[in-house]
Amino acid sequence: MRRTGMLTGAGISLLGPDLDALPPLLAAEELDPGQREVLDRVLAGGDALVHGAPGSGRTALALTAAELSGEGAVLLAPRRAAAGRLRDALAVHGSGAVRAMTPPALAHALVRADAVHRGLGEPTLVTGAEQDALLAELIAQRERWHLEVDPGARSLPGFRTELRDLLTRAGELGIAPADLEALGLAHGRPAWRDAAALQRDYLGVLDLEASAALDAGPRLDSGALVRRAARLLGAAQAPPPFRVVVVDDAQDLTAAGIDLVAALARTGARVLVLTCPDAAVDTFRGALPDAGERLRALLPRPVGESVLDGTHAQVEGLTAAVDALRARLPLAGSPALVRRPRAAAPGALVALQAQDPLDEARLIGSALRDLHHREGVPYDEMAVVARSGAAVADLADLLSRTGVPVRVPHRPQPLRDVPAIADLLSVLEIGLAPPEAPLAPRRAVELLRGPFGDADALRLRRIRRLLLGAHRAAHPDADATSEELLARALVEEEPAGLPAADARDRAAAPVHRLRDMIRAVRAHRDQDAQQVLWHAWDAAGLAEGWRRAALGAAGDVDGARARMAASRLDALLELFAAAERLTDRRPGAGALDLVEQVRARSVVEDTLAPAAAARGRLEVLTPAQLAGEHRDTVVLARVQEGAWPDLRLRSTLFGAAELSLHAGARPGAEIPRAAEAVRALQREQVLADELRLAVAALARARRRVLVTAVRDESSEPSALFDALADLAAKDPDPWIDPETLRADPGPAPDARRLVAALRRRLRTEDPQQARDAALALEALGRAGAPGTDPAHWYHQEPSSTGPLHDEETPIRLSPSALERAVDCPQSWLMERAGGTRSGGPAQLIGTALHHLAQVHPRGPEEGEDLLAALHGLLRAVPGTETWSGRRRVRRAEDAAQLLAAHLRQAAEPLAVEAPFEVELGRVRLRGSIDRIEGDATGLRVVDLKTGRAAKSAAKAEEDLQLAAYQAAVREGALAEQLGEDAPERLNGAQLLYVGTGGRKAAVRTQTALDRAEDPAWFDDLVQQVSREVSGAAVTARVNAHCSRCAVRSSCPLQPEGDQL
């Protein structure tokens, strides 16, 4: 494979285009007779319209005709990537004088040349992000609407996306605001009338922006730019800009592109148009599959029409399969001759069904790896095609897990949605805020756990404990949470208790990194946006680490870290480019201006930056991304019902597709007016477009195709899969054996799957097979395969067999931990080591209710608003604005009212949130009692519960937390608060449930320990627990909490952890 590129001093290979992937440029004598006939006509000065099936040699003819036409020729391709490949192909063969361009690029060159000639400002293209931001402002300002829709919906990105589609389609069709208004009235579409008004305002703003600067030229979107170029060509008195115009893949031209080609022809240029309506892939962007027929009617001279019927790119079996699928499509202006079969019987096509998406990825990975190793087909010569970008991303992730080297085209997303960019913008905001401005604890935690902090929950817990300890030592009476102290540590100059960046195994490094970034922003706050952004990024010190990760680090088995780091760096480069554009357009713009601009844009900024793909990787693409290229092997994946074909109607709110039907119809075409008939026609078009995508994908394969789909409880193969499976069934000798593919470990397995299979064979009853497996594992280990060292397998000797606690060491437990240890000692141990889940909204609401009970031990006083206090405490609870969140808040309000009613009539509180520590044998119990109430004659322990379900009376008698609290009072741990005679006055304990939704709080009672049927039951249980949690092993025990256990996946008693 021929490659271009260079090696930099940093050891980074800069890749150029893959020369073998470029389309061939053939000499005239290498063309087939049909191609030479067309070439002779064009070189003799005639116009030609060429129809050809996929793989019939249209692009080869286009390149040869353009090259032989020499200087003064232009080669047009509808897509930028295709134009780039054609340009590279011409340049490699020394034909750089021929220009290869897209219609918008050509239009920009023509309009710019005219502006320079006339001494006017150069035109600028309105990007999609700029258009979206402008439309958002216009929508917000507009008060009168004909379209009845919820006002809140108008602020949604989806609303603007449909509006942008309609305005783009109107611009492509040359529809002015008045024309759009008339169409809306004629067809009863109020949305078109609203769009007409917005289009009028939109064009007015662009004109105003263009006239605001002395040297500014017109601001145009793509469709308007192409139409302006067509008008200039019609009015110009200058010589024609080109002698020959060659149009490849004309089926993907828009209406504006068709008019531009016709305008070039009217200047006297000869025109060669090559088209294949069956392979159109850009119809969702307004492409017209019948562009060839439309051009034939618009060209000023008679056009010679030809059909190419050769087969240059595929084996015969695949050609027959492509032709069979094409036969289901409308001709779209092509002659019937183009459908003549070119091969006898389908072949080289296999269809497989998988049990689930991961199984599908394994089948694809096994087939392609086998092909790579058995027949030496490079991964560059294979492609996996999925219908949508989301399916592409999911498939690429699953394939990488199976050990296949994967390459995915960069799929940009709005910068504001990229976590690394969102966090960097937050750092800019914090650094530019006044120094005394507080930082919300929740925001601080999000930054520390984000890409720049990269701290896990355990590290944050350690940092919070250090900060809280130092704060309590310095300010014993101050009331501050560890979360608040963590937030202060990011913005304060000298936070107490924060270890140095290089101390304590760099535990506080995430905090110091973010502190450095915030300080850098503060130090350069008066500079422009680009400089402030650079200093913030430079202070992070992550450039080299992310670069190494993006290039692939050791241990990154499936490349997930590399892809994540690469996507972060790509997004950062886009952000710096946006900052550069901002400072160029608005000199002196600050960092806050950049933050506002990025957050306001929900559409991706376009980029013309060149890019090169890494070699030796399997590409996962959409049909449009693969269009114009060829691969040895192509996989059509996820051919599911509802996904491919996707028969949902597009743009149902603003009706961009319907506008194309009415305004873009060819003369004489009859378009129905009834709504149902129009929708039926649209569905026919959508189905045809989906089949065209399948035809285009099939046609990219030279030798073999694999089609896959998933069949499970929620998914099933589509009718398209069934049609392709019927074609595949006609091949008597398929290139894949499904049984071999599904075998364990299958043909050419990845290293991890092979190692797993060999390890299973170690347990076989055949000693020779076990010995062979052991020798193979040893060889794989020497080669560096992971998982071959028995010392790292499960079920090996433990790292320590000593007890968890020495006999002299006390066992520290809280009442809740005691209860957990009784239920399941293993779960207690794992949760103690960090296996607990973070608190959710229910836990935060419970904490708020406990706080109210502590602050108002006798209930709220007259005039006190307990609900207002509750709402203040719930501000930090996430999701309260959602439907489920509002329901949780209402339940919390009901619970607060029940709590207030109960406290007003409850006995006198003797202690609230009373801390205690007591030793029961080896166990040292430490905790806090919610409430102790009573008088000089008796007292009772009360434990407040906020859950929705109350325990039964029998279960309450066995409640371990209540028993622990009673034991603390019995042992005199609260004598200072309750008196020395507290143990004698203890009358038992109660569970107080305020969250059950009843009319009053539910109360469950526990008898005093010394009056129980077995007075020693709790002490005996504590001693049993001390033995179970202090030995050399712990027991996993099935209990009522298993279904919601945080460490269920590590439990050998559960299906998720049975491998342990």
**Residues tagged in the binding site annotation for ATP:** 52-59
CA distances from 610 to 30, 613, 629 (A): 32, 10, 18
| 3-class DSSP state of 270 | strand
Known binding residues are 52-59
CA-to-CA distance for 175 and 403, rounded, in angstroms?
52
CA-to-CA distance for 558 and 501, rounded, in angstroms?
32
Location of structure tokens 């703003």: 205
CA-to-CA distance for 214 and 553, rounded, in angstroms?
53
- Position 869, amino acid: A
CA-to-CA distance for 605 and 598, rounded, in angstroms?
10
CA-to-CA distance for 183 and 190, rounded, in angstroms?
10
Contact 793, 1004 (CB under 8 A): no
Strands 47-52 and 270-275: parallel
What is 73-129 written as a DSSP string?
Answer: EEEE-SSHHHHHHHHHHHHHTT-TTSEEE-HHHHHHHHHHHHHHHTT-PPPEEPPHH
Positive or negative torsion for Cα 623, 616, 451, 398: positive
Q: How far is CA 954 from the centre of its chain?
A: 50
955 — alpha (psi -120 to 50), left (phi > 0) or beta?
Answer: alpha
CA-to-CA distance for 508 and 459, rounded, in angstroms?
8
Element (H, E) at 431: helix 419-432
- Position 80, amino acid: R
Contact 804, 1033 (CB under 8 A): no
What is 608-660 written as a DSSP string?
Answer: -----PPSS-EEEE-HHHHTT--EEEEEE---BTTTSS--PPS-TTT-HHHHH
CA-to-CA distance for 940 and 932, rounded, in angstroms?
6
CA-to-CA distance for 322 and 278, rounded, in angstroms?
10
Strand partners, 915: 928
The DSSP call for residue 390 is H
CA-to-CA distance for 693 and 697, rounded, in angstroms?
6
Which residues lie below 8 Å from residue 453, measured CB to CB, with a gap of 6+? 447, 510, 511, 513, 514
Location of structure tokens 């000639």: 117
- Of 863, 862, 866, 842, the residue nearest 854 (C-alpha): 866
What is 133-184 written as a DSSP string?
Answer: HHHHHHHHH----SS---GGGGGSHHHHHHHHHHHHHHHHHT--HHHHHHHH
Tokens encoding 941: 């322990």
CA-to-CA distance for 61 and 50, rounded, in angstroms?
10
Contact 7, 232 (CB under 8 A): no
| 3-class DSSP state of 691 | helix
Contact 627, 699 (CB under 8 A): no
Q: State residue 11 phi and psi, 5-degree precision.
A: 80, 15
CA-to-CA distance for 962 and 1017, rounded, in angstroms?
13
